[in-house]
């Protein structure tokens, strides 16, 4: 099915960094640590690891394989594996495209806030206190303007295409992110109070174990690996035929999980350092503050109590968050853009603007109806759309796509795979175990 003119990632490492860039995002740095904090620390970590490797990883392989086989946008790729029901297959692709656009519409709002917390302290340092305060406090105008700024950044990267936009920026930004992370963890762990946070993260508290925890861990794993909404499928479609998909997917999952783990080593200790410095981290009922308050009030307050060095560390922290958000948001925008350029034969430079524009308009509607819509859109996409579509993709690969075609695609350029354990287990696993596991979690 190869068409030589279609874009590709130029190297394997470029692909890994781009896919890991998609996976590593606010879900890792903000979502995972705060979920772990309120769900018994290491208990959540353990269930999460189980979900990533027993459920999300096989599905990541499935999505990448569909994409690479189709060598096209998700709508066309899904049609090519289910030619008997092209209509339904296309609808699944369209559903993924809509879901990922909705994810981008709330993601851009949060990323905008982070951008505000990055620029705010810089403006403050050079004397623009009013502007800095505006950037750092909740208002419709701030939410709107920063969201638009972030959407424009996303559009500018995707506009340049796969190798020159997505891959180039991911390979530049991901190493910066990793280095910044390690520096910050090293710093935080030397601060007074940090060990208490570390204990909370690493010592299991089994009283927190519940079916709700398992559902949260599954949702977190799906969100973190960007599953169920065609992002990984579209990245898979730019993957070269000589790439070993199971191995590459394992590296992406491992990188993503490591960053989530390291983020836990950063955020939870940081909370307790903040507490040590007099910042309140529990509410009146004795529960930990919710995650927005933690990231947007507790952490900035902590950075402030640390003096000039703290301001600098604070800026670094938000730079890190914005980079992580950007390498994820580009993988979201790429889904509808790839569909428009191929299905509607549009020029990429045109498609990014009108699609990015539509998503920005939807995001503005959320900004203006924040109280009613923000939580709703998050819950619709991450609690429903991602797991349900993910399950549909598993069923497609397991039951509908011709077995020999699936296996042929996976071992393409890598015939030794036939001797591996993966080869024996994976097809059955995706066919039976993944859907059953997901159903069980749903009913829980």
Q: Which residue ranges make up the site for ligand PFF (CB under 6 A)?
A: 22-23, 25-28, 100, 103, 223-224, 226, 229, 231, 328, 331-332
Sequence-separated (6 or more) residues with CB below 8 Å from residue 267 = 29, 30, 33, 34, 37, 197, 294, 295, 299
Cα 140 to its chain centre, rounded Å, is 25
Minimum CB separation of residue 137 from ligand PFF in Å reads 24
The span from the CA of 302 to the CA of 402, in Å, is 56
Minimum CB separation of residue 67 from ligand PFF in Å reads 13
Report the DSSP beta bridge partners of residue 288: 282
Residue 194 or residue 325: which is nearer to ligand PFF going by CB? Answer: 325
Minimum CB separation of residue 99 from ligand PFF in Å reads 8
Residue 103 or residue 337: which is nearer to ligand PFF going by CB? Answer: 103
Q: CB pairs under 8 A, 24+ apart, for 337-342?
A: 337/158, 338/73, 338/74, 338/234, 338/237, 339/73, 339/74, 339/75, 339/93, 339/97, 341/73, 342/72, 342/73, 342/76
DSSP string, 254-320: HHHHHHHHHHHHHHHHHHHHHHHTT---B-TTSPBPPHHHIIIIIHHHHHHHTHHHHHHHHHHHHHH
Residue 103 or residue 315: which is nearer to ligand PFF going by CB? Answer: 103
Minimum CB separation of residue 29 from ligand PFF in Å reads 8
Report the DSSP beta bridge partners of residue 282: 288
DSSP string, 147-160: HHHHHHHHHHHHHT
Minimum CB separation of residue 386 from ligand PFF in Å reads 7
Residue 23 or residue 410: which is nearer to ligand PFF going by CB? Answer: 23
Minimum CB separation of residue 227 from ligand PFF in Å reads 7
Residue 27 or residue 398: which is nearer to ligand PFF going by CB? Answer: 27
Residue 36 or residue 103: which is nearer to ligand PFF going by CB? Answer: 103
Residue 43 or residue 103: which is nearer to ligand PFF going by CB? Answer: 103
The span from the CA of 68 to the CA of 71, in Å, is 5
Minimum CB separation of residue 98 from ligand PFF in Å reads 12
């Amino acid at each position: 099915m190869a068409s030589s003119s279609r874009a590709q990632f130029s190297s394997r490492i470029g692909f890994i960094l781009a896919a890991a860039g998609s996976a590593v995002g606010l879900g890792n740095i903000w979502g995972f640590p705060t979920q772990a904090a309120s769900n018994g620390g290491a208990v959540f970590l353990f269930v999460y690891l189980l979900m990533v490797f027993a459920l999300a990883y096989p599905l990541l392989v499935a999505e990448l394989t569909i994409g690479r086989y189709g060598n096209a946008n998700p709508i066309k790729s899904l049609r090519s594996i289910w030619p008997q029901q092209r209509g339904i297959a296309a609808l699944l692709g369209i559903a993924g495209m809509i879901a990922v656009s909705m994810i981008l519409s709330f993601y851009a709002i949060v990323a905008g806030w982070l951008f505000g917390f990055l620029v705010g302290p810089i403006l403050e340092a050079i004397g623009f206190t009013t502007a800095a305060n505006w950037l750092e406090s909740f208002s419709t105008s701030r939410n709107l303007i920063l969201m638009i700024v972030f959407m424009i950044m996303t559009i500018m990267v995707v506009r340049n295409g796969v190798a020159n936009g997505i891959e180039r920026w991911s390979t530049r930004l991901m190493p910066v992110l990793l280095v910044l992370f390690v520096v910050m963890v090293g710093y935080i762990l030397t601060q007074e109070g940090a060990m208490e946070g570390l204990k909370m993260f690493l010592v299991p508290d089994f009283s927190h174990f519940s079916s709700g925890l398992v559902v949260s861990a599954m949702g977190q794993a799906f969100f973190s690996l960007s599953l169920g909404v065609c992002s990984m499928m579209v990245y898979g479609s730019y993957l070269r035929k000589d790439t070993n998909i199971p191995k590459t997917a394992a590296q992406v999952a491992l990188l993503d999980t490591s960053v989530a783990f390291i983020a836990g080593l950063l955020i939870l200790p940081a909370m307790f350092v903040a507490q040590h410095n007099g910042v309140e981290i529990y509410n009146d009922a004795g529960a930990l503050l919710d995650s927005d308050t933690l990231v947007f009030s507790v952490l900035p307050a902590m950075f402030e109590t640390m003096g000039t060095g703290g301001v600098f560390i604070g800026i670094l922290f938000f730079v890190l968050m914005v980079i992580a958000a950007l390498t994820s948001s580009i993988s979201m925008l790429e889904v509808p853009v790839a569909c428009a350029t191929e299905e509607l034969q549009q020029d990429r430079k045109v498609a990014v603007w009108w699609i990015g524009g539509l998503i920005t308009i939807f995001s503005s509607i959320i900004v203006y109806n924040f109280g009613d819509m923000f939580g709703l859109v998050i819950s619709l996409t991450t609690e429903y759309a991602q797991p349900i579509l993910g399950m549909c993709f598993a069923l497609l690969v397991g039951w509908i796509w011709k077995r020999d075609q699936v296996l042929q695609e996976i071992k393409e350029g890598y015939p030794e795979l036939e001797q591996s354990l993966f080869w024996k287990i994976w097809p059955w696993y995706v066919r039976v175990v993944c859907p059953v596991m997901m159903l069980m979690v749903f009913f829980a």
